[in-house]
Structure 1
Amino acid sequence: MRSVVQRVKSASVSVNGARVGEISAGLLILLGVGQEDGESDINWMVDKLVGLRIFEDQEGKMNRSVQDVSGEILMVSQFTLYGDCRSGKRPSFTTAAAPEQAKALYERTVEKIRSHGLKVETGIFQAQMDVELINDGPVTLLIDSEKKF
Protein backbone atom coordinates (compact mmCIF):
# COMPACT_ATOMS: atom_id res chain seq x y z
CA MET A 1 0.00 0.00 0.00
CA ARG A 2 1.39 3.36 -0.99
CA SER A 3 0.31 6.86 -0.12
CA VAL A 4 1.25 10.41 -0.90
CA VAL A 5 0.35 12.52 2.13
CA GLN A 6 0.02 16.28 1.87
CA ARG A 7 -0.63 18.62 4.76
CA VAL A 8 -3.31 21.00 3.49
CA LYS A 9 -5.16 24.11 4.53
CA SER A 10 -8.08 22.82 2.46
CA ALA A 11 -8.75 20.28 -0.29
CA SER A 12 -11.62 19.08 -2.45
CA VAL A 13 -12.38 16.50 -5.11
CA SER A 14 -14.90 16.83 -7.93
CA VAL A 15 -16.31 14.40 -10.48
CA ASN A 16 -17.95 15.74 -13.66
CA GLY A 17 -17.92 19.25 -12.18
CA ALA A 18 -19.72 18.22 -8.98
CA ARG A 19 -17.87 18.42 -5.69
CA VAL A 20 -18.01 15.00 -3.98
CA GLY A 21 -15.59 15.56 -1.09
CA GLU A 22 -14.18 18.57 0.71
CA ILE A 23 -12.14 19.23 3.85
CA SER A 24 -10.69 22.13 5.74
CA ALA A 25 -7.26 21.85 7.39
CA GLY A 26 -5.84 18.33 7.56
CA LEU A 27 -4.44 15.73 5.18
CA LEU A 28 -4.97 14.97 1.51
CA ILE A 29 -4.04 11.32 1.08
CA LEU A 30 -3.63 9.70 -2.32
CA LEU A 31 -3.80 5.95 -1.68
CA GLY A 32 -2.69 3.16 -4.00
CA VAL A 33 -3.23 -0.54 -3.37
CA GLY A 34 -0.86 -3.26 -4.58
CA GLN A 35 -1.60 -6.87 -5.49
CA GLU A 36 0.12 -8.21 -2.37
CA ASP A 37 -1.61 -5.87 0.09
CA GLY A 38 -3.86 -7.16 2.83
CA GLU A 39 -5.18 -6.46 6.32
CA SER A 40 -1.71 -6.07 7.86
CA ASP A 41 -0.89 -3.35 5.29
CA ILE A 42 -4.15 -1.56 6.09
CA ASN A 43 -3.46 -1.68 9.83
CA TRP A 44 0.10 -0.44 9.40
CA MET A 45 -0.93 2.35 7.00
CA VAL A 46 -3.83 3.54 9.16
CA ASP A 47 -1.62 3.62 12.26
CA LYS A 48 1.01 5.59 10.35
CA LEU A 49 -1.45 8.07 8.82
CA VAL A 50 -3.44 8.73 11.98
CA GLY A 51 -0.33 9.16 14.13
CA LEU A 52 1.96 10.94 11.66
CA ARG A 53 3.29 14.02 13.46
CA ILE A 54 3.51 16.62 10.70
CA PHE A 55 1.52 19.49 12.23
CA GLU A 56 3.31 22.18 14.19
CA ASP A 57 3.16 22.52 17.94
CA GLN A 58 3.42 25.79 19.90
CA GLU A 59 7.16 25.87 19.27
CA GLY A 60 6.82 25.50 15.50
CA LYS A 61 8.07 21.90 15.48
CA MET A 62 6.26 19.17 13.54
CA ASN A 63 5.10 17.32 16.61
CA ARG A 64 1.32 16.94 16.31
CA SER A 65 -0.83 14.44 14.40
CA VAL A 66 -4.02 15.02 12.44
CA GLN A 67 -5.87 13.71 15.49
CA ASP A 68 -4.06 16.14 17.80
CA VAL A 69 -5.13 19.13 15.71
CA SER A 70 -8.69 17.88 15.04
CA GLY A 71 -7.86 17.82 11.35
CA GLU A 72 -9.82 16.27 8.52
CA ILE A 73 -8.80 13.81 5.83
CA LEU A 74 -9.57 13.69 2.12
CA MET A 75 -8.71 10.20 0.82
CA VAL A 76 -8.48 9.70 -2.94
CA SER A 77 -7.80 6.36 -4.62
CA GLN A 78 -4.73 6.52 -6.84
CA PHE A 79 -3.70 3.33 -8.62
CA THR A 80 -1.02 5.24 -10.54
CA LEU A 81 1.13 5.19 -7.40
CA TYR A 82 1.98 1.67 -8.56
CA GLY A 83 3.17 2.88 -11.95
CA ASP A 84 6.60 1.42 -12.72
CA CYS A 85 8.54 3.82 -14.94
CA ARG A 86 11.87 2.01 -14.97
CA SER A 87 11.52 0.58 -18.46
CA GLY A 88 10.37 2.53 -21.49
CA LYS A 89 8.29 5.67 -21.51
CA ARG A 90 4.87 4.25 -20.56
CA PRO A 91 4.32 3.22 -16.93
CA SER A 92 3.49 -0.40 -16.19
CA PHE A 93 0.80 -1.03 -13.59
CA THR A 94 1.28 -4.79 -13.25
CA THR A 95 1.82 -4.63 -9.47
CA ALA A 96 -1.32 -2.57 -8.81
CA ALA A 97 -4.24 -4.48 -7.32
CA ALA A 98 -7.18 -5.40 -9.55
CA PRO A 99 -10.05 -2.90 -9.18
CA GLU A 100 -12.26 -5.20 -7.07
CA GLN A 101 -9.46 -5.95 -4.60
CA ALA A 102 -8.25 -2.34 -4.55
CA LYS A 103 -11.73 -0.95 -3.89
CA ALA A 104 -12.32 -3.32 -0.97
CA LEU A 105 -8.97 -2.51 0.65
CA TYR A 106 -9.36 1.23 -0.02
CA GLU A 107 -12.83 1.25 1.59
CA ARG A 108 -11.55 -0.78 4.55
CA THR A 109 -8.75 1.76 5.04
CA VAL A 110 -11.26 4.63 5.05
CA GLU A 111 -13.44 2.75 7.59
CA LYS A 112 -10.50 2.14 9.90
CA ILE A 113 -9.44 5.80 9.81
CA ARG A 114 -13.01 6.87 10.57
CA SER A 115 -13.03 4.49 13.54
CA HIS A 116 -10.42 6.80 15.10
CA GLY A 117 -13.04 9.56 15.19
CA LEU A 118 -11.67 11.49 12.23
CA LYS A 119 -13.77 13.08 9.51
CA VAL A 120 -12.84 11.39 6.21
CA GLU A 121 -14.13 12.58 2.86
CA THR A 122 -13.45 10.58 -0.31
CA GLY A 123 -13.50 10.74 -4.05
CA ILE A 124 -15.31 8.17 -6.18
CA PHE A 125 -13.38 5.00 -6.82
CA GLN A 126 -12.29 4.62 -10.49
CA ALA A 127 -13.79 7.98 -11.48
CA GLN A 128 -11.93 10.69 -13.37
CA MET A 129 -11.43 13.18 -10.54
CA ASP A 130 -10.30 16.78 -10.24
CA VAL A 131 -8.44 17.38 -6.99
CA GLU A 132 -7.84 20.89 -5.66
CA LEU A 133 -5.75 21.73 -2.63
CA ILE A 134 -3.94 24.45 -0.79
CA ASN A 135 -0.77 22.75 0.36
CA ASP A 136 0.37 23.84 3.82
CA GLY A 137 4.12 24.20 4.03
CA PRO A 138 4.35 22.51 1.60
CA VAL A 139 4.61 19.24 3.48
CA THR A 140 4.43 16.16 1.24
CA LEU A 141 5.48 12.64 2.23
CA LEU A 142 5.59 9.24 0.57
CA ILE A 143 4.60 6.23 2.68
CA ASP A 144 4.93 2.64 1.48
CA SER A 145 3.90 -0.40 3.54
CA GLU A 146 6.44 -2.50 1.64
CA LYS A 147 9.14 -0.44 3.34
CA LYS A 148 7.81 -0.73 6.88
CA PHE A 149 10.82 -2.70 8.14
Structure 2
Amino acid sequence: MNSTLRLHYQRQLIYAGLDDFNPNSVFPNYLGGESGGNRLAWRREVVNFLDIGVGCGLLAILNWNNLFSPLVLKDVKFALSGNRVSEAGLVDEDIIWNSLYFFGTESLIHDLDRFGLLKWGSLLDTENLKFLDFIQEKYKIELGV
Protein backbone atom coordinates (compact mmCIF):
# COMPACT_ATOMS: atom_id res chain seq x y z
CA MET A 1 0.00 0.00 0.00
CA ASN A 2 1.38 3.41 -0.87
CA SER A 3 1.94 6.07 1.78
CA THR A 4 -0.85 8.28 0.42
CA LEU A 5 -3.45 5.57 0.92
CA ARG A 6 -1.98 4.66 4.34
CA LEU A 7 -2.44 8.27 5.46
CA HIS A 8 -6.09 8.10 4.36
CA TYR A 9 -6.49 4.86 6.34
CA GLN A 10 -4.99 6.54 9.40
CA ARG A 11 -7.23 9.58 9.13
CA GLN A 12 -10.36 7.51 8.51
CA LEU A 13 -9.59 5.32 11.52
CA ILE A 14 -9.16 8.45 13.64
CA TYR A 15 -12.47 9.77 12.34
CA ALA A 16 -14.11 6.41 13.12
CA GLY A 17 -13.02 6.77 16.72
CA LEU A 18 -14.62 10.22 16.96
CA ASP A 19 -17.86 9.92 14.98
CA ASP A 20 -19.84 7.57 12.77
CA PHE A 21 -19.65 7.88 8.98
CA ASN A 22 -21.14 6.49 5.79
CA PRO A 23 -19.17 5.02 2.87
CA ASN A 24 -19.52 8.20 0.80
CA SER A 25 -17.50 10.14 3.36
CA VAL A 26 -14.55 7.72 3.40
CA PHE A 27 -11.31 9.02 1.84
CA PRO A 28 -12.88 12.30 0.66
CA ASN A 29 -9.62 13.51 -0.92
CA TYR A 30 -8.32 10.22 -2.30
CA LEU A 31 -8.74 9.98 -6.10
CA GLY A 32 -11.13 12.91 -5.86
CA GLY A 33 -13.46 11.12 -3.46
CA GLU A 34 -17.08 10.43 -4.27
CA SER A 35 -17.20 13.03 -7.03
CA GLY A 36 -13.74 12.42 -8.46
CA GLY A 37 -12.80 11.42 -11.94
CA ASN A 38 -11.83 7.90 -10.90
CA ARG A 39 -14.94 7.02 -8.92
CA LEU A 40 -14.71 3.26 -9.55
CA ALA A 41 -11.16 3.03 -8.19
CA TRP A 42 -12.15 5.21 -5.20
CA ARG A 43 -15.19 2.99 -4.47
CA ARG A 44 -13.03 -0.13 -4.68
CA GLU A 45 -10.62 1.28 -2.07
CA VAL A 46 -13.49 2.37 0.19
CA VAL A 47 -15.11 -1.08 0.01
CA ASN A 48 -11.76 -2.73 0.80
CA PHE A 49 -11.20 -0.41 3.76
CA LEU A 50 -14.66 -1.05 5.20
CA ASP A 51 -14.57 -4.79 4.56
CA ILE A 52 -11.14 -5.17 6.15
CA GLY A 53 -12.07 -2.85 9.04
CA VAL A 54 -15.22 -4.77 9.91
CA GLY A 55 -13.56 -8.13 9.32
CA CYS A 56 -10.67 -7.51 11.69
CA GLY A 57 -12.59 -5.69 14.42
CA LEU A 58 -11.60 -2.06 13.79
CA LEU A 59 -15.06 -0.97 12.60
CA ALA A 60 -18.63 -1.88 13.42
CA ILE A 61 -21.80 -1.32 11.42
CA LEU A 62 -24.60 0.87 12.70
CA ASN A 63 -28.29 0.42 11.81
CA TRP A 64 -27.99 -2.56 9.45
CA ASN A 65 -30.67 -4.50 11.29
CA ASN A 66 -33.12 -1.61 11.23
CA LEU A 67 -32.55 -0.57 7.62
CA PHE A 68 -32.11 -3.58 5.42
CA SER A 69 -32.30 -6.96 7.09
CA PRO A 70 -32.79 -8.66 10.43
CA LEU A 71 -29.64 -10.66 9.67
CA VAL A 72 -26.16 -9.56 10.69
CA LEU A 73 -24.19 -8.14 7.77
CA LYS A 74 -21.31 -10.52 7.14
CA ASP A 75 -20.17 -9.48 3.68
CA VAL A 76 -19.55 -5.75 3.42
CA LYS A 77 -18.23 -6.11 -0.13
CA PHE A 78 -21.48 -7.74 -1.26
CA ALA A 79 -23.63 -5.09 0.42
CA LEU A 80 -21.71 -2.20 -1.15
CA SER A 81 -21.31 -3.58 -4.65
CA GLY A 82 -24.38 -3.48 -6.82
CA ASN A 83 -28.04 -3.89 -6.06
CA ARG A 84 -29.10 -6.09 -3.20
CA VAL A 85 -32.39 -7.82 -2.66
CA SER A 86 -33.96 -7.23 0.73
CA GLU A 87 -37.23 -8.28 2.30
CA ALA A 88 -38.83 -5.05 1.05
CA GLY A 89 -37.67 -5.55 -2.53
CA LEU A 90 -34.70 -4.21 -4.46
CA VAL A 91 -32.49 -1.74 -2.60
CA ASP A 92 -30.52 0.66 -4.76
CA GLU A 93 -26.73 0.78 -4.27
CA ASP A 94 -26.77 4.55 -3.67
CA ILE A 95 -29.30 4.12 -0.85
CA ILE A 96 -26.97 1.70 0.91
CA TRP A 97 -23.93 3.96 0.37
CA ASN A 98 -25.84 6.89 1.87
CA SER A 99 -27.57 5.16 4.76
CA LEU A 100 -25.16 2.49 5.99
CA TYR A 101 -23.04 3.87 8.84
CA PHE A 102 -19.84 2.63 10.44
CA PHE A 103 -18.06 3.55 13.67
CA GLY A 104 -14.90 2.60 15.52
CA THR A 105 -15.00 -0.33 17.89
CA GLU A 106 -14.13 0.05 21.58
CA SER A 107 -10.82 -1.60 20.82
CA LEU A 108 -9.96 0.95 18.10
CA ILE A 109 -11.02 3.84 20.32
CA HIS A 110 -8.80 2.52 23.10
CA ASP A 111 -5.87 2.19 20.68
CA LEU A 112 -6.37 5.69 19.28
CA ASP A 113 -6.44 7.10 22.81
CA ARG A 114 -3.30 5.18 23.72
CA PHE A 115 -1.46 6.81 20.79
CA GLY A 116 -2.86 10.28 21.58
CA LEU A 117 -4.88 10.30 18.35
CA LEU A 118 -8.41 10.44 19.74
CA LYS A 119 -8.91 14.13 18.98
CA TRP A 120 -10.10 16.10 15.99
CA GLY A 121 -6.73 17.80 15.51
CA SER A 122 -5.17 14.39 14.78
CA LEU A 123 -6.97 14.36 11.44
CA LEU A 124 -4.40 16.91 10.27
CA ASP A 125 -1.39 14.88 11.42
CA THR A 126 1.09 13.34 9.03
CA GLU A 127 1.53 9.60 8.82
CA ASN A 128 2.12 8.07 12.24
CA LEU A 129 4.17 4.98 11.43
CA LYS A 130 4.13 3.70 15.03
CA PHE A 131 0.34 3.76 15.10
CA LEU A 132 0.02 2.21 11.63
CA ASP A 133 2.56 -0.49 12.48
CA PHE A 134 0.63 -1.24 15.67
CA ILE A 135 -2.68 -1.43 13.76
CA GLN A 136 -1.07 -3.67 11.15
CA GLU A 137 0.28 -6.04 13.81
CA LYS A 138 -2.74 -6.12 16.13
CA TYR A 139 -5.44 -6.42 13.50
CA LYS A 140 -3.44 -8.49 10.99
CA ILE A 141 -3.96 -6.16 8.04
CA GLU A 142 -1.34 -5.25 5.46
CA LEU A 143 -0.62 -1.52 5.34
CA GLY A 144 2.90 -1.81 3.94
CA VAL A 145 4.52 -0.17 6.95
* TM-score, normalisation: structure 2: 0.28
Q: Which has the higher contact order (CA 8 A, sep 6+)?
A: 1
Q: Which has the higher strand share?
A: 1
Q: Which has the higher helix share?
A: 2
* TM-score, normalisation: structure 1: 0.28
